Chains A and B, each alone.
Chain A
Amino acid sequence: MPHIEESYDVIVVGAGHAGCEASLATARLGLKTILFTISIESIAMMPCNPNIGGTSKGHLVREIDALGGQMGINIDKTFIQSKMLNSSKGPAVHSLRAQADKEAYSLSMRKTLENTENLTVRRGEVTELLIEDGKVHGVKMYSGAVYYAKAVILCTGTYLASRCLYGDVIEHTGPNGLKSANELSDSLRNNGINLNRFKTGTPARIDKRSIDFSKMEEQLGDKEITPFSFTTDRDSLNIDQVSCYLTYTNEKTHEIIRNNLDRSPLFSGTIEGTGPRYCPSIEDKVVKFADKDRHQVFIEPEGLYTNEMYIGGMSSSLPEDVQYEMYRSVPGLENAVIVRNAYAIEYDCISANDLKLSLEFKNIDGLFSAGQFNGSSGYEEAAAQGLIAGINAAHKILGKEPLILDRSEAYIGVLIDDLVTKDNKEPYRMMTSRAEYRLLLRQDNADLRLTEIGHKVGLISDDRYEHLLEKKRMIEEEVKRVKEVYVGAGAFVSEFLTKHDSTPLKTAASIADLIRRPELNYDVLAEIDVNRPILPKEVTEQVEIFIKYEGYIERQQKQVEDFKKIEKRILPTDIDYTTISGLRLEAQQKLNKYKPTSIGQASRLSGVTPADISVLLVASEQVYKMRKEKENDL
C-alpha cells in the first residue's frame, strides 16, 4: 500500500511547550520544519497548573524571551493575573508569575505556529524512529507515512505509554483523557535508548458556582504589572485582573485521607513511577508532614472562558468518592462540584545523562530531545529545553557550533547541566537555590545577559539588539554618574536624610554611597540629585541593583571567572577512562558513563573527587600532547 513520503529539515514530535519553542526556533532559523501532535487542539496545552512563571521558573521565561523564544510573548497576551513574587526580598529572587487563560494561551500559541513561515503543523502519532548507522533519518507514523529529516526533536511530554490513575482506576491515556503514544517507546528501546518511568499528578478542577469564596482569602494581582517579554508594551498590560483564593485543609481533611490511604495506588504499590518531592500529592503531605495541622489550598481560575477552578495544593490519586469527601472538608468547598477529578499520571522518559549539553543524543546523530521526556517537569523547564534543542538542531544542520549556555550565564544553563550531568531520580524542577551564581542570573537582567546571544543565533532582530545596546550604554553612564556626583553635608541634604531616617552626612558622599544605604534608594534620592537625567525605568532599576549590591555582585563575578577557567578545559569525549590507572574505580566508571566535555563538568559528577580532577588534568594534557605529537609526525 502506498504511503506518504515527505522530506523536511527538522521533525518535531509533540506540540507542548517544548515542541512549540523547538519548532518555532528551527522554522525561524530558516529550516523547513514539521511539528507533529496527537491533537491540534492540545497545542501548548497546560494540563496542570494554570500559571506561567513562579520562583525561578519566571527567570526561565525571561531567558527564553531574551533568546528569542515565544513563551513570554504568549503569556503577556493571555494572562489574567500577574504577580511579582518575593518582591520584598533581593532582586535575584524576584520572580514573576502570571495566571493564564489556558484556552487563550493555547489558541494564541497555535496561531503563532500556524503563521510562522517554514513551519507545518500536522496531526499524527509518531510510532517509529528511522535510525541507521547511529544517525536519525526520519520518523514513521501510525498511518504508515514516512517523513525524512536531517534532525528529529523528541518532545513527547507525558504521553509516552502514559496511564492515569486514581483509586483502583487506570486509564491508559495521556493528560485530560487525550490519546497516549504507545508505540514509540518500543522503537526507542530498540534503538538502545533506556527509558525511565516517572510520575506526576494534578488536583481536581471544581465548578466555580459551587465554591463559597466568602470563606477564603482573596489574592489579588499586582497593581503595577511587569511583563515577561522584554518586547511587550507595558500599556497592553492594563487588564482587569481576576483573583485567586486561599483556603486551608484541616484535621478533618487529613483524617479522611489517612483513613483511605490504602485505596491510593501510590501506597498500594500500583504506581511504579517516581514522583516529584516538590509537588507532593495531598496524601503525601499528610503522611510526611504529619505534624502540620493544615496545608494551604489555592483556588485559581483556569481561564475566563470557563467556570473551572484549579485546586492548587491538593493533587491526589485517591478514588473519586474519597476526593469528593476530602475536597468538601475544606472551608468554602463544602458543596464542591468536581468537573475533572484529580489523578496521577505515569509516563516513559529518558535519563538525560544520555544527552550532550546541546540536547542531542550522545549515541544517535541528529536526534535531539526536550521537556518532560528528558525527565524535567514544568512548562517553563520544557519550553527552555525546547528552545535550546531547536537552536542546536538548526545549528547542526547549518554546520554551526552548538549553543551551550553555562551555569554562570543562565538558569537555562543550570537546568540543562543538571539534567545532563546529575543523576535525577525524580522529575526535575528549577529552583533558585540550584543556581550558584544567582545574584548575576536575575530575571531583571535576562536581556542584558542573553539578547546578544539570541541575536547572534538569529532569533533576535537587529532593532531589538540595538535597543539593548542603547540600554546597556545608558546603564553604564548612569552608574558612572552616580559614583561621581557628590552631595555635601549641608542643611538641605541633612534635612532630606533625616526625613528618610538616614544618618546625616559629616562629609560629602556620592549618590552611589547613599543608594547603598538600606533605607534609601535610587528613586527617593532624586530630590537631592538635582541634575539627574531622565531615564527609563528599566535603566534606573539596573543602576540601583548594580550599586546597591555591587560588593556581592563583584564577589560572584570573581567566582564565575574561576568557574570559567575549569569549564574551558575541554576533555576529549573519546577517552577510555579505564586506561587512566590513576583514577579511582568509581571515578573511571562515572567518567566513562557521562563522558563529560570539560573538566568543569567532570568535577560536578558525584563520585569524582578533587584528586581525580587533578589526575584528569594531567592525563588529559598528556592525551592532547601525544595527539599533537602524532599530528606533527604525519
Chain B
Amino acid sequence: MFDTTIAAIATSLGPSGVGKVRISGADSFSIISKIAFNNKREALFVKEMESHTIHHGYIYDDDVVIDEVLILLMKAPRTFTGEDTVEIDCHGGVMVMQKILETVIKNGATLAEPGEFSKRAFLNGKMDLTKAESVIDLINSSNKFAMDNSIKHLTGKLFDKITILRKALLHEIAYIEAALDDPEHYDLTGYEGELRDKLLKIKEDIDVLINTSDNGRILKEGINVAIVGEPNVGKSTLLNAISGYDAAIVTDIAGTTRDVITEHVMFGNISLNIMDTAGIRETTDPIELIGVNRTLKAVKDADLVLFMVDSTTPINDYEDEIYDLVKEKQVIMLLNKVDRSTVVTEDEYVERYNLPIISVSAKEGSGVELLQQKISDMFFNGEVTFNNEVYVTGVRQKQCLIEASNSIANVLHSIENHMPEDFFSIDIMAAYAALGRMIGEEVGDDLVNEIFSKFCMGK
C-alpha cells in the first residue's frame, strides 16, 4: 500500500551499548543489499536469505566501514508493520546510528515520519481496531515533540538563511511563470545565463549548509574537541603531546595562546579536531580578550570539552566560572602536571564538579593513552550525544537540503542542455518546496501571490 520505504533509529539515542536502525517497506532488502557486506567485502545477498534470520556483517558508506553489525531480516507479512523489514543492530553510539541511518536514506529510504511504523502497522491490518486511538496519540505526541524541537532548532540564523534562499528561488520561478503566462509582456531572452549564475550561488549556499550540518561530519571530519582551562595550565602542551609535534607555541608566560589553534589528529581510530584555546581569565588586554571570546565560540562548537586544571595550584573560583561555561557539554576533566608535587587530588574535583577525570602529565605524555581510551569509549557508547529529536530533525533538514540541492542541479543540467525555460521552473519549484518543508512552510499560493505582487500581469 505504501510505496516508500521508511527508516528510523528504533532505540533511544541516549547512552547505551547497542542501537537499532529499522527499515520497513518494499525496498528494505534491496537497500540493505547495497550497504551490507561480509568481512571479505562481499555483498550480502539478503534476498536469497530466509526470513527471520540474523546475519553478521559490516555497513559501508561507499568505501568507508561505518560499523560491524547484526542484520535481522524479516519478510512480509509476519513483521510489525506487515512489510518487509530489516533491523540493523549496531553499536549504540549516536554517531554510529546516525551515520547508518543516513546511509540507508542515501540508498533509497525516506526518514520515517513520527509514528509512521505504527501507522503502517495499523493500516496494514497488523493492529487491532482498538489500537487506532493509541496510534493517533502516538503520531500526535511525537509529531508535536518534533515540531517543537524543529522550531527550537530553527529560530535564528538558519531559519533566516533558508527564508532568504526561498525568497530568491520564488522570485525566479515567478519571473519565468509570469513570462510564460504573459509572453507578450515579459521576455526571457538572455535569461538563461543570468539564472544559471544565480542558481549556482544559491546551490553553493545550500551545499555549504549540507556540509556544515552535524550529521556524519563527526565520522568524516572528526569530533570537535576543545581544550579549555585557566591560562598556563598546560593546554598547548597537551595539544602538542597528542599531535606529536609543536603545533602551538608553548611558553611559561600566561596568556601566550591568543588564538584558537585547531589540530586534526587521528587518536587511535577516531578522528579528532582538537582546538587549543586561549586561557580563560579576567583580562583587560584587548588582544587577549579577543582570544577569550574565540575560546567561548570554540566551546560552543565542541562535541567534547577537555577541561584542564593544574594539580600544582589550589582549586580556585575561576575554575567555577569555566565549569559554568562548559557544563552543558560533554566534558572530561584533565588534572595536569601530576609529574610535579601536587596540591589537589582527583577526588576533590570529582566531589566539586562530578565530572569524569583523568590525571595526566602533558609534558611527560603520561595519561594520554588513558584519555584516548576514554574518548573512544564515549564515542562508541554514545555518551557523546545530542538531544534525540533535535538530531532527528537534523537528519530531516539535511534531507530537505539535499533534495533542494539536487533539484537545482537538475535546473543547471536543463540549462546546460538548452531546455526551454518552462522546464526550469518545475525543478526550481521542487527546490523551493523542499526548503519549505525544512522550515515547516507550505507552498500554497506563494507562487501566484508572488507573480501578482511583483509582475504586472494581464491585458
Contacts and interface: CB of A to CB of B under 8 A. Distances in A.
Chain B interface size range: 35 or more
B54 interface: no
B417 interface: yes
Given A289-B456, A611-B114, A432 B180 contact: yes
Contacts of B188: 89
A439 B430 CA distance: 14
B222 interface: no
Interface string A580-591: 111000000000
Interface string A526-554: 00000000000000000000000100100
A90 B419 CA distance: 8
Interface string B142-168: 010001000000000000000000000
Contact of A280 (B114, B425, B451, B456): B456
A582 to B, nearest CB: 4
Given A90-B420, A552-B423, A606 B442 contact: yes
A292 B188 CA distance: 18
B183 A86 contact: yes
Contacts of B426: 438-439, 552
A295 interface: yes
A296 B185 CA distance: 7
Contacts of A292: 456
B422 A431 contact: no
A619 B458 CA distance: 45
Interface residues of A, number: 54
Interface in A18-74: 49, 55-56
Contacts of A610: 113
Given A93-B422, A312-B459, A433 B181 contact: yes
Interface stretch (B33-41, B133-141, B300-308): B133-141
A412 B184 CA distance: 25
B411 to A, nearest CB: 12
Given A90-B419, A278-B458, A433-B425, A582 B136 contact: yes
Nearest to B127: A618
B132 A618 contact: yes
Contacts of A280: 456-458
Q: Is the interface of B mostly helix, strand, loop or mixed?
A: helix
A622 interface: yes
A98 to B, nearest CB: 15
Interface in B402-424: 417-423
A614 interface: yes
B444 interface: yes
Interface in B66-87: none
A611 B139 contact: yes
Contacts of A518: 417-419
Interface in B166-191: 173, 177, 180-185, 188
Contacts of B367: none
A86 B140 contact: no
B120 to A, nearest CB: 10
Contacts of A549: 423
A615 B136 contact: yes
Contacts of A403: none
B315 interface: no
Contacts of B3: 561-562, 565
A535 to B, nearest CB: 24
B116 interface: yes
B25 to A, nearest CB: 14
A279 interface: yes
B452 interface: yes
A614 B185 contact: no
Contacts of A618: 119, 122-123, 132, 135-136, 139
B137 A433 contact: no
A433 B132 contact: no
A249 to B, nearest CB: 11
A581 B185 CA distance: 51
Contacts of B173: 433
A602 to B, nearest CB: 14
Given A433-B177, A614-B139, A89 B129 contact: no
A438 B132 CA distance: 38
A292 B140 CA distance: 50
Nearest to A279: B458
A55 B182 contact: yes
A518 B442 CA distance: 35
A471 interface: no
A209 interface: no
Q: Which 4 A-B pairs have the closest CB atoms?
A: A90-B420, A582-B136, A312-B459, A277-B452
Given A93-B420, A431-B177, A433-B447, 19 more contacts: A49-B459, A85-B183, A85-B184, A93-B180, A278-B452, A279-B459, A296-B184, A313-B458, A432-B181, A432-B422, A518-B417, A561-B3, A582-B136, A606-B444, A611-B139, A614-B119, A617-B123, A619-B136, A621-B122
15 contacts: A55-B183, A85-B183, A90-B421, A246-B184, A277-B457, A278-B452, A280-B457, A289-B456, A432-B177, A432-B422, A433-B447, A582-B140, A606-B444, A611-B147, A615-B139
